[in-house]
Amino acid sequence: MANDKLVIAADHGGIDLKNELVSRLRDTGYDVTDLGTHNTESVNYPDYAFDAATKVASGEFPRGILICGTGIGMSIAANKVHGVYCAKVNSEEEGRLAAEHNHANMLALGGRTTDPDTAWKAVHAWLTTEPGAGRHEQRVGLIKAKDC
């Protein structure tokens, strides 16, 4: 499997979904590094988002997945890391489009807002969809060129 190495992290609001996805990903043959959290004690989601996003931005991992209660906080934090393009998704179609149209190298999901089967379909679509060329590549290039 090309690019079968993934990093995943969650806060206390995403731990159950994270554990489910780690299991499904490993059963499918992905090499998953789980950065935690590993219990339901309250933690600061930015710490987990920054840890995983930094590993993706450095090239240590080609892609990563983040999960908090809604996925919103994790996506905002991850997108603060230069070189990370984290899409918050809610469906299989959004997972596919995050890869095809936006070339997202990270996904964020809501542990309290996304059921495991929907989350798995979104992740699987993202992992198995090739980034689109042409107008999509051009638009992603405009984003990458902007250095604020």
Identify whether 68 is a catalytic site residue. yes
* DSSP letter (8 states) at residue 106: E
Distance of CA 81 to the CA centre of its chain: 13
Active-site position among 68, 82, 103, 148: 68
Identify whether 86 is a catalytic site residue. no
Distance CA 11, CA 71 (A): 10
Active-site position among 101, 124, 136, 148: 101
Q: Which residues are catalytic?
A: 68, 101
